[in-house]
Amino acid sequence: MTVLETIQKSTEFLGKKGVESSRLHAELLLAHVLAMPRMKLYLNFERALTAPETDTLRELIKRRGQREPLQHIVGSTSFCGLDMTVNRHALIPRPETEMLAEMGWNFLSTLNSQLSTALDFGTGTGCIAIALAVKCPSAQITALDVSPDALALAKANAERHQVASRMEFLLGDGFAALSTPRLFDLIVSNPPYIASAEIATLDPEVRDFDPRGALDGGTDGLDFYRRLAKQAAAFLKLGGKIMVEFGDGQAPEIKSLFESEKWIVEAVQEDYSHRARILVARR
């Protein structure tokens, strides 16, 4: 089959399996197999695939048809322009979270301190922490997670981007991972925020492939915000800020939760679809 025929057949198959943007995913998987940028496929529509190429692609398309995320199949995703290795042990970084990272590095850049410090609570792949370290070359970044496998992945990603020497990786349950009391300029977090009962209703790509521990925010989805609102102030320097991402529709509850713990909410930031998704607060 030619490249064009392969794209058409794969698109049809993925569409039948309920995969959104089936043509795009067919093209991305084929481009991955042929080790060429997706746009180059368009210059090669008449090229015939070899038998090994066809076999490899068939396997990948089958996996995508079983709703395995594209990012797991190709093994990486882009976050703030940085290539992040991804696997089943950590949440696939989402585009919305790039805004949180950007707000974080903008704040760190305004500090005069030689050595600004930030804590990423629930680091997963390390995407936020690594983006902060890359964009703020004198900052020291602490990444913590309760999952040893996620933390190993975060460390590998940090090494890949040559920022591991300015980062530390702490394993443990929330702030208990910090064995000695420490103060940070910034605490960022994209914690698990899905209500436990809602997880079963999510798309298979999320429900079956993101780790449950990265999704489950307790009965109402707000468990981690309660912990952060109660505990985070003790780990912030004077003038320090907390920035947390939350789910669509959670803004009013998160805002009042932080305010009831004496935080001053500075901003509730909307994402590019005009949905409130990030809270910025200080004491």
Ligand X SMILES: C[S@@+](CC[C@H](N)C(=O)[O-])C[C@H]1O[C@@H](n2cnc3c(N)ncnc32)[C@H](O)[C@@H]1O
Interacting residue ranges for ligand X, rule: CB under 6 A: 90-91, 93, 97, 122-125, 127-128, 144-147, 150, 173-174, 190-192, 213-214
Residue 40 host element (H or E): helix 38-41
Residue closer to ligand X, measured from CB, 173 or 248: 173
237 backbone dihedrals φ, ψ, rounded to 5°: -70, 165
The encoded tokens of residue 9 equal 């057949």
Give all strands of the β-sheet with 117-121 in edge-to-edge order.
167-171, 140-145, 117-121, 184-189, 236-245, 276-282, 264-270
The encoded tokens of residue 96 equal 């919305």
The encoded tokens of residue 94 equal 């989402």
Provide, rounded to whole angstroms, the least separation between the CB of residue 107 and ligand X. Answer: 17
Residue closer to ligand X, measured from CB, 127 or 187: 127
Residue closer to ligand X, measured from CB, 71 or 190: 190
Residue closer to ligand X, measured from CB, 11 or 157: 157
Residue closer to ligand X, measured from CB, 33 or 214: 214
25 backbone dihedrals φ, ψ, rounded to 5°: -70, -35
DSSP 8-state assignment for residue 261: T
CB 234 within 8 Å of CB 266:
no
Provide, rounded to whole angstroms, the least separation between the CB of residue 77 and ligand X. Answer: 10
Q: CA neighbours within 13 Å on the CB side: how many for 78?
A: 2
Provide, rounded to whole angstroms, the least separation between the CB of residue 131 and ligand X. Answer: 10
Q: d(Cα 86, Cα 267) in Å, to the nearest integer?
A: 31
Provide, rounded to whole angstroms, the least separation between the CB of residue 275 and ligand X. Answer: 17
239 CB-contact burial (10 Å; exposed 0-12 / middle 13-18 / buried 19+): exposed
* Residue written as token pair 């048809």: 65
Provide, rounded to whole angstroms, the least separation between the CB of residue 225 and ligand X. Answer: 12
Residue closer to ligand X, measured from CB, 57 or 188: 188
Provide, rounded to whole angstroms, the least separation between the CB of residue 28 and ligand X. Answer: 20
Provide, rounded to whole angstroms, the least separation between the CB of residue 154 and ligand X. Answer: 8
Residue closer to ligand X, measured from CB, 27 or 145: 145
